[in-house]
Amino acid sequence: MSEVDLSIDLAGLHLNNPIIAASGTFGYGEEFERFAELRRIGGICVKGTSARPMDGNLPPRLFPTASGMLNSIGLENVGVDAFIRDKMPFLRNAGCAVFVNVFGFNQDEYAEVIDKLNACDGIAAYELNISCPNTKHGGMVFGQSPQLTQELTKMLKVRSRRPVIVKLSPNVADITELARGAEDGGADALTVANTFLGMAIDTDTFRPRIHTIIGGLSGPAIRPITLRMVYQCSRAVKIPIIGLGGITKTEDAVEYFLAGATAVQVGTANFYNPQAPLNILRGLDKFLKAKRLKSVSDLVGKMKQ
């Protein structure tokens, strides 16, 4: 059979393939350079970037669970100025699409980050983090209100020189309301979804396993839930969806495509296998050939009922 087409069109962008390294799990790309060929990944979504540097939460900030991980990093990052100065020179030459995850504690901070990034070359799109469960203010507030999601998205879309992707929170009663809010605000695509609120307690010390008590649960344990959310959102909006949550192997990614995702992000798997995105990509090529399919688009939304 002839070679399959792994490329995709997403929010006005043409990517070599649909496998993206998720924000917060792949650093700024340079940390993974010696482990994986970055140019072969569809894209890298860098750590959440704020107007000013953030130290994040106090340790302990990570705890492994039976089928995943709790984290409460608290959006530690170098700030937008240092990101542009120190991180973008490497990322421009990484050979894959660069998505910048943008975070703020209020609308003005989001706008400040977007305005500065607009003047920086080499960025493919912005991913708006309105859904982080590990900070006391900001993103989570926007991410729980369809109206605020729409207002923030609209304001930033007007300012943006690049496609705007909105990363939704799963910690809501009906995620499709947030999806519609983002779409109505002009979002070019959605990322579904961020981590789930969770906690763990040390039964020897009686203390919480992470300093903030409650953190974000990721990994294989959440995959059936986020898969359901991707399916629901794909039926609720017309804009493309990037699915993520517990993807560790090719079949996991294929499930998301069948549920309606145009692309996927690989997150927690990067911590124990830096080549996870590339392994999934190689498996996807083999899967499509085995199924005698010509492209990734032949999978998207093709779940049978």
Catalytic residues: 132
- Report the residue count for the chain: 305
Biggest CA pair distance of the chain: 60
d(CA 191, CA 181): 13
Q: Which amino acid is at 41?
A: I
Q: How many angstroms separate the Cα of 255 from the Cα of each of 64, 167, 252, 272? A: 25, 20, 5, 22
d(CA 190, CA 182): 8
